[in-house]
Structure 1
């Protein structure tokens, strides 16, 4: 069934690329003589580059692999906008002809329209690249109505979905560490997908060495995301994280400073990867729930479990906030909260749209971010 679905998706993708290419060729061929064979070869290469990098990238030289992944990612983003624009233009073109309201300028100079479309998509990709590569600090204030030992507040720095690998490298992680340290946090957390999929690029560049530079009062903690499980090397990744100075929480609950509990959950992918995601009730069994309970869970779904168990704050990622419009409409419809802050009674949820990117290094309607979470323990009897 999965093979049939994958085949259908690939055929649809191929057809839509052909449709984009055909409309482009008809638009520009009126004014500019184009070698059709070269034109279609370029379209075919662009359309397949991302899949070449994903499937066979490890067989390419490192530099060529990075180029292939970057070009393929940009084409995927361009493809989304091009298909939408071309469909809209075709609707207007057909209606314009039938109603005889299409200006002569557009009939005779379709190449101008094609140039404008390419320029518009280019601007979108440029803005999206800025949003992806220049992170911002987003601050949240959360009130928890519980005593936390002798602590009145907790300053937590958070990143999620870095996706270290062939596209996002050591320099990006170094800048994340610098931003976290600039916040002077009590604690730092990484809520999954620190590594994209393949661990070899991460090991080869010794990327995780940067994490040793994190400076916090209570340490830095990490949980697994779905991409750590995609690697099929989750035990090796666990070891790599621990050697980098991170405390790995895989279905573990730790009491910090005798003041609050931090619970790190396995990702939902664990159940499909030969591991097991424990029930939250089992992880919290026997703890003192008069103290604040903070849960790290990569995917912000099935929130009823955290609500039922009296969790005070859940920190999640995974969604990328859709990363770029209109994908954001999909994540917004799937998750109760796909990017930002949700408060429901005593339950608080913060979902980060992520520090890195997956696929295209483009963000439209979202921005790469480091979270500065200020938790105030405001107990009132």
Structure 2
């Protein structure tokens, strides 16, 4: 069934790329003659580059692999906007001809319309690149009505979905560490997908060495996301994370400063990857819930479990906030909260749209972020 679905999706993608290419060719040909064979080779290369990078990127030289992934990612983003714009323009074109309201200069200068579309999409990608590579600090204030030892406030720095690999490298991680350190946090947490899927690019560039520069009072913690499981070597990733100074929480909890519990959950992918995601009720067995309970869970779904178990604060990522419009509309429909803060009684949820990107290095309607979470314990004062 999965193969049938994947095959149908690829055929649809190929057809839509052909549709975009055909409309572009007809528009350009009205102004300048185009070598059709060269044109279609370029379209085919652009359409297939992302999948070449995803499947065969690890077999390519580092720079070539990076270039293939970058070009493929940008085409994927451009494709989304091109197909939407071309469909809208074709609807207007058909209606305009039937109703005889299409201006003559548009009928005769389709190349000008095509140039305007390319320019518009180019501007979108440029703005989206800025949003993706220039991170901002987003602050949240949360109050938990429990006593946390002698702590009145906890300052937590959080990043999620860095996706280190062929596209996002060591410099971006260094910037994240610098941003985190600038907050002078008590703890730092990484809520999954620190690595994209391939370990080798991360290992070759010694990317995780940057994490040794994190400066906190009570340590830095990490959980697994679905992409760590895509690597098919979670044990090695766990070892690499621990070697870089992170405390790995895989269905386990720690008591921090004798003041609160920090619980890290396995991702939902664990159950399909030869591992097991424990029920939260079992995981919290023995936890003193008179202390604050903070849960790290990569995917913000099935929140009823956290509510039922008296979790005070859940920190999640995964959604990317949709990363770019119109995909953001999909994540808003799937998740109760796909980006931001949700409060329901004593339960608090913060979902980060992420620090890195998946696929295109583009964000429209979201921005790369480091979270500055100030957690207050009024009962401790």
Which TM bucket (shorter chain)? over 0.9
Structure 1: unaligned runs, 5 residues or longer: none
SS in structure 1 opposite 2:117?
helix
* CA distance, structure 1, for counterparts of residue 380 and residue 309 of structure 2: 21
* CA distance, structure 1, for counterparts of residue 360 and residue 125 of structure 2: 10
* CA distance, structure 2, for counterparts of residue 227 and residue 294 of structure 1: 23
Match of 2:187 in 1: 187
- Cα offset for 1:59? 1.5
1:157-212 superposed Cα distances (whole Å, 9 cap, x missing partner): 00000000000000000000000000000000000000000000000000000000
The answer to whether structure 1 residue 231 and structure 2 residue 226 are counterparts is: no
- Cα offset for 1:283? 1.1
Match of 2:125 in 1: 125
* CA distance, structure 2, for counterparts of residue 291 and residue 178 of structure 1: 31
Q: Is the 8 A contact 2:189 2:220 kept in 1?
A: yes
1:240-268 superposed Cα distances (whole Å, 9 cap, x missing partner): 00000000000001111110000000000
The answer to whether structure 1 residue 280 and structure 2 residue 275 are counterparts is: no
Match of 1:145 in 2: 145
* CA distance, structure 2, for counterparts of residue 380 and residue 127 of structure 1: 45
- Cα offset for 1:286? 1.4
* CA distance, structure 2, for counterparts of residue 174 and residue 340 of structure 1: 24
Structure 2: unaligned runs, 5 residues or longer: none
Match of 2:39 in 1: 39
- Cα offset for 1:151? 0.3
SS in structure 2 opposite 1:379?
helix
In the TM superposition, what are the counterparts of 1:44-193 in structure 2 within 5 Å? Answer: 44-193=44-193
Match of 2:297 in 1: 297
Q: CA RMSD for the aligned pairs?
A: 0.9
- Cα offset for 1:380? 9.0
Match of 1:333 in 2: 333
In the TM superposition, what are the counterparts of 1:365-376 in structure 2 within 5 Å? Answer: 365-376=365-376
* CA distance, structure 2, for counterparts of residue 305 and residue 23 of structure 1: 50
Shift in CA distance, 380/256, structure 1 to aligned 2, threshold 3 Å: closer
Match of 2:359 in 1: 359
* CA distance, structure 2, for counterparts of residue 158 and residue 91 of structure 1: 45
SS in structure 1 opposite 2:379?
coil
* CA distance, structure 1, for counterparts of residue 99 and residue 346 of structure 2: 59
SS in structure 1 opposite 2:31?
coil
1:333-355 superposed Cα distances (whole Å, 9 cap, x missing partner): 00000000000000000000000
Q: Is the 8 A contact 2:157 2:185 kept in 1?
A: yes
**Number of aligned residues:** 381
In the TM superposition, what are the counterparts of 1:261-280 in structure 2 within 5 Å? Answer: 261-280=261-280
- Cα offset for 1:379? 2.3
Match of 1:198 in 2: 198
* CA distance, structure 2, for counterparts of residue 265 and residue 207 of structure 1: 24
SS in structure 1 opposite 2:25?
helix
SS in structure 2 opposite 1:141?
strand
Moved runs in structure 1, 4+ residues, more than 2 A?
Answer: none
Q: Is the 8 A contact 2:252 2:265 kept in 1?
A: yes
* CA distance, structure 1, for counterparts of residue 178 and residue 12 of structure 2: 43
Match of 2:15 in 1: 15
* CA distance, structure 1, for counterparts of residue 380 and residue 336 of structure 2: 29
